[in-house]
A and B are shown apart, each in its own frame.
Chain A
């Protein structure tokens, strides 16, 4: 498979086929749309990250002395909204998924390329609305919009933020729709379901959740907006409405949403580990089925966010039981990934370092989920920093590390360039250290009783907060580095061969970067997935010293 390295500029590929802003803004090429998304979500990650840094700065001291309390309340609200709806939910599916799903199944594009472009525009429009809401006063309801505070008491841009998320939701739904139809109908000849890459299985499961869950958030936000704007009284207790109904409707989407955020990441890890261990995944069908199991069970556990909300004891018990059931498929994945490394031939390039980090941090985050699902214990730790630490371990330690691992893994394919390996490893290490220092103290903070969303706090909580803030500055550096060196590599990076890692998968059979129509001829698949016994590590693959 080793090919002579042809300088990127000489071959026609999706990047140099056409130049000009119009060719990008009106493109229907899934690969270009993936890059448009990359720019958008990176921008919003930056914004959400700045909010996070301001939050951590305020929390350096017990008193509220950096910003006013209303400002602080807006900061954590908008940090959550921007990070969840404009970074995490799109991230892997819209960037890596858009780029890779057609290539991995041997197709020329997604089923509905124009709809794909529309998805991106919807996200951009939603983003503009959100930025406008932020710039003209912000929102201070918490990303969870609990009523009646959001409907009858908040004086901020609730309607605009709600509508912005409504529009972003449609972006998500359409992407999911596109993926499901594509995976069902456009697989190359010979590519049966049991030969699909696990990345595809993960995105298939994610897309089902996007399709079925997001509309419920949409209608819930619509009802909140209508109540605020037109005085309907559906959630207003002074008119017979029930605030808990809002919570049920909201969490019915927002719990599956966390699986939208983690499943794609798991799909990335399932591609990286076999490649860098040179082994077929251990338990392929179990990993594939566990993705579907998580998608299904994920819809049944929403009220574990409401154990102290005033629900009946018996309802709480059912949701606790189901929450433990949904933990099993995730555990299965971790065990299978670990077993994949057994008797492998392991290389430690940057993607693999991120995979190691993912397994470690996701395991810790997932285990702390067991704490929260335990009813009697949840009463004490819910609504405290324990929960904040738990979900950041999964979403940042898990999903973001998976995203970064995937970006490094497929960067050569996407850009035709290699990123600088030493910097990649350094950044991975910095992210890992910074992350743990930021969020581990928060577990302790939560158990000793510091509630979340607190602008000021009793002085005995200060030491742990200072540790956390220190960690966040390190984490920020770790995130900035890839932004810099990926950009650098686009001009100065070593040109990449078609398959620098010796990876399996149809996408690696095409050029780096690929031509617009992905393949010169539609591949015909006659082999089982992950034939790592037969693929050699190419000579020019970067090896560790």
Chain B
């Protein structure tokens, strides 16, 4: 049995490690082989980028060697897939090699596409890459006051990020003693300030309390960089001195190129996590088209289900679990308080008041992630 894992991010790594442990005997007796293909020899802890943007973490804290995170029985290649041949159960890679499989897991993730909004690249700061987060921090340090606008592209990874960065901006300027010189305006695509109703109910009075203006039904259409104006699809506009953006995302180009899903999102069964029309192909994390948050947390819980099912199919011939839509998101409510949202397909999140202990739990998790991604936590 040849298991091919395409993608070495959060979901792919947890899946591969979990499988390698469950199938240790089968791997030892050469009945099973696990191969991972990734675009990089480094693994990034992406939630850390928000902290880099506020000078609270250094970029080198975000990385580990991918090989150091994998069970030694996993065959690892830095050689991304260039083409999927689903009808032949094989892929070809950048180096020209072919990998055949019996079962494949696709966890190629997503990418930012700020260039799809005219002016967004030149006109805004963001924290969705290492270079951008460092640049954003330097810009924040230089900022002495004025109008800060936050805009949100769709779809985007980490749905909590818009409110987190807003609270962090408030605390950052307050700490610097210039909050009274900064006007913060938050813009959000739908008709309330967060897509999760209970998060919106909690955040709205918090925004009111700390003096953050908000405009809803604002889908960023273009940025007039010269005149420092951001315009919405809905016909409104906001002037700014500093524009912070959550950029829109797409799936990886290879997914679109091979016509496996519009926008790079693969049509996926919401319970089995198999690719529609391909029972031996599973899809994890951001790569799916599921109506589930694009977060490491969703990828993590999905990976556990897929690993358990692939393992049980090999051992007893049948899957044993469905994915129930579980997601757990920390929510930083500034620099010293946090809460969390946990939900699934059936149960909405029940938000608790933010407190310091949850913030310190999140800070600890920033380190514990490396245990989590090894499949130990």
> A and B: real partners?
no
Q: Residues on A close to B: CB < 8 A?
A: none
Q: Residues on B close to A: CB < 8 A?
A: none
